[in-house]
Amino acid sequence: MKIFRTEQVKYIDAYTIQNEPIASIDLMERAAHALFGWFRNRFHNNRKVIIFCGPGNNGGDGLALARMLLNVGYNVHTYYLSSKSYSEDFNTNLVRLKEASSSIYMINSPKDFPKIEPDDIIVDALFGSGLSRPIEGLAADLISSINSSNALVVAIDIPSGLFGEENSVPNSNPVVRASYCLSLQFPKIAFFMSENEEYVKDWRTLPIGLHPDAIEQTPSPYFYTTLSDISTNLLNQSKFAHKGSFGHVLIMAGSYSMMGAACLCSKASIRSGVGLATLYIPKCGYEIAQTAVPEALALTDSNDTHLTNYPDLNKFSAICVGPGMGQDTETASMIRSLIKNSTKPLVIDADGLNLISKNIDLLQELKAPAILTPHPGEFDRLFGKSSSSWEQLQKAISMAQRYGVIIVLKGAYTRVVLPNGEVHFNSTGNSGMATGGSGDVLSGVIAGLLARGLEPKDAAIIGVFVHGLAGDLAADDFGKVSLCATDILNYICKAFQHLTKK
């Protein structure tokens, strides 16, 4: 799903009004109806609902929602900020609401704030995508009052005070802390930044029928990967397929005390449909590999404890290098040589990245497409520290462009950043996956798909999605607390089944 900056959504909104065509007030009615549907399914009408409205169309949405809730028997109290001017649709909805309710109050000063009980439901319709500067004065006091109540808060479109993309870190501006955020049609990029977790605990999008032509024509480098974006044709299995049809992956991983990473990674590549997997390991790992991963071939380095060389690459269709590999100087020279000589696509993970970070311009010597899979710590080691997730993302974009590599910046909403500057935020995965070995499973999945013949971009985007989905399905059965990397590995099958059945 393509996603947009807030000012672009304004354009798509205006295009829809002009070309559907639909009157602006009717588009607002449609948005309010979507909000109403969600609200009614979620909350019984025995709880008091307090709706706070600002002077623009976000406030207009709040007023229209108030009317719809009143019509079906909710106990609704509506408060709106005094302002020099209000949007036209706000005014129309205020008139409409006044015909249905007498519980409408203007807020002129803090003494007009209502008392909020813990069981009340607050709707935050103060400011949406039209926020033009940090909030001050009366509106800021109101936000403090909302945040200090223990009531549940439902924000319309975006928590008031939060900008759609970049926000200062730490954020000293007043922002509503929403329990739920109902974002109209698209998620906001700000939802994917870890610093905003306290404002956006749970969010969902509500479709409001914005014009498909405007969505198609408006350029954006940002995407959100959901199930419907995954092209399952890429996973087709021909009836006459044989193991040679699905590629041969080389996994270069492991060292003394870190053979687990090599096993997890190679098993994950096998579960991702590769025809053959060869594990290249130091001698100490031979019996471990042959016992733990019977499906893989095992080749050993001349060294006992760490990798110092790589095998003939001719027969392999993709290579994964790095998991549990350690950072010995001999391993460092091996990876330098591998980068300069491999014409086979590479997945570089973990210690592979740590070794490259000592000489980042090595990336300029890559002969083959490469997918780098850093977690935020590895990313900082490679490209330097950032002061916020937004800045880190912009850095990932410029580094992917500079070196012509794919960067998979891992974490919640893993970002797959392409050399053309596109960013694909992933929708699957959960915090139960923040456990040792999860990343080794991911690099194996991506390498398996790459070896099967998927384009690097597809291998990265689908690999990240499937890995997160496996983690979600495993968490459904085992819970997040106990989830471990082996569980993710064991649920890769179910994740692929889920995709190919869709």
Ligand X SMILES: NC(=O)C1=CN([C@@H]2O[C@H](COP(=O)(O)OP(=O)(O)OC[C@H]3O[C@@H](n4cnc5c(N)ncnc54)[C@H](OP(=O)(O)O)[C@@H]3O)[C@@H](O)[C@H]2O)[C@@H](O)CC1
Ligand Y SMILES: Nc1ncnc2c1ncn2[C@@H]1O[C@H](COP(=O)(O)OP(=O)(O)O)[C@@H](O)[C@H]1O
Instruction: Kindly list the residues in this chain that would bind ligand X in the complex (CB under 6 A).
Output: 9-10, 13, 27-28, 31, 54-61, 87, 127-135, 139, 156-157, 184-185, 208, 210
DSSP helix/strand/coil, 156: strand
DSSP helix/strand/coil, 247: coil
Whether 179 contacts 398, CB under 8 Å: no
Strand partners, 454: none
Look up residue 54 and give its two tokens.
Answer: 């600002």
438 touches ligand Y (CB under 6 A):
yes
Question: Exactly one of 1, 313, 412, 484 binds ligand Y (CB under 6 A); which one?
Answer: 412
Q: Which amino acid is at 269?
A: S
C-alpha distances in Å from residue 177, one per residue of 151, 206, 396 = 11, 20, 29
- Residue 342 CB-half CA count within 13 A: 29
Binding residue positions for AMP: 410-414, 439
| C-alpha to C-alpha distance for 253 and 259, rounded to whole angstroms | 8
Smallest gap from Cβ 248 to ligand Y, in A, equals: 24
Distance, first Cα to last Cα, the chain: 17
Binding residue positions: 57-61, 124, 128-134, 157, 160, 261, 324, 375, 410-414, 439-440
Smallest gap from Cβ 355 to K ion, in A, equals: 47
Binding-site size for K ion (CB under 5 A) equals: 5
Q: Which of residues 354-393 bind ligand Y (CB under 6 A)?
A: 375
Site string for K ion, 107-136 (x = CB under 5 A): -----------------x---x--------
Smallest gap from Cβ 224 to ligand Y, in A, equals: 14
For residue 334, the partner it binds in ligand Y, ligand X, K ion, none, with Cβ less than 5 to 8 A by kind, is none
Look up residue 452 and give its two tokens.
Answer: 């099967």
Q: Which amino acid is at 114?
A: P
433 touches ligand Y (CB under 6 A):
yes
Whether 92 contacts 125, CB under 8 Å: no
Whether 78 contacts 97, CB under 8 Å: yes
Question: Exactly one of 439, 444, 448, 456 binds ligand Y (CB under 6 A); which one?
Answer: 439
For residue 263, the partner it binds in ligand X, ligand Y, K ion, none, with Cβ less than 5 to 8 A by kind, is none
87 touches K ion (CB under 5 A):
no
Q: Compute the CA torsion angle 327, 330, 332, 336 (nearest 10 deg).
A: -160
61 touches K ion (CB under 5 A):
no
Q: Which amino acid is at 170?
A: P
Site string for K ion, 132-171 (x = CB under 5 A): -----------------------xx---x-----------
Whether 89 contacts 62, CB under 8 Å: no
442 touches ligand Y (CB under 6 A):
yes
> Kind and range of the H or E element at 8?
helix 6-19
| C-alpha to C-alpha distance for 97 and 106, rounded to whole angstroms | 13
342 touches K ion (CB under 5 A):
no
Smallest gap from Cβ 83 to ligand X, in A, equals: 7
| C-alpha to C-alpha distance for 160 and 199, rounded to whole angstroms | 9
Which is closer to ligand Y, CB of 335 or CB of 350?
350
Whether 317 contacts 447, CB under 8 Å: no
For residue 28, the partner it binds in K ion, ligand Y, ligand X, none, with Cβ less than 5 to 8 A by kind, is ligand X
Q: Which amino acid is at 404?
A: G
183 touches K ion (CB under 5 A):
no
Which is closer to ligand X, CB of 13 or CB of 349?
13
Binding residue positions for (6S)-NADPHX: 57-61, 128-134, 157, 261, 324, 375, 440
| Residue 2, φ and ψ in degrees, nearest 5 | -75, 140
For residue 135, the partner it binds in K ion, ligand X, ligand Y, none, with Cβ less than 5 to 8 A by kind, is ligand X
Smallest gap from Cβ 128 to ligand X, in A, equals: 2
Smallest gap from Cβ 158 to K ion, in A, equals: 6
| C-alpha to C-alpha distance for 313 and 114, rounded to whole angstroms | 71
Express the helix, strand and coil content of the chain in percent, nearest 5 each.
45, 15, 40
Smallest gap from Cβ 408 to ligand Y, in A, equals: 8
Catalog residues that contact ligand Y under the rule CB under 6 A.
350, 375, 410-412, 414, 429-431, 433-434, 436-440, 442, 467
Catalog residues that contact K ion under the rule CB under 5 A.
124, 128, 155-156, 160
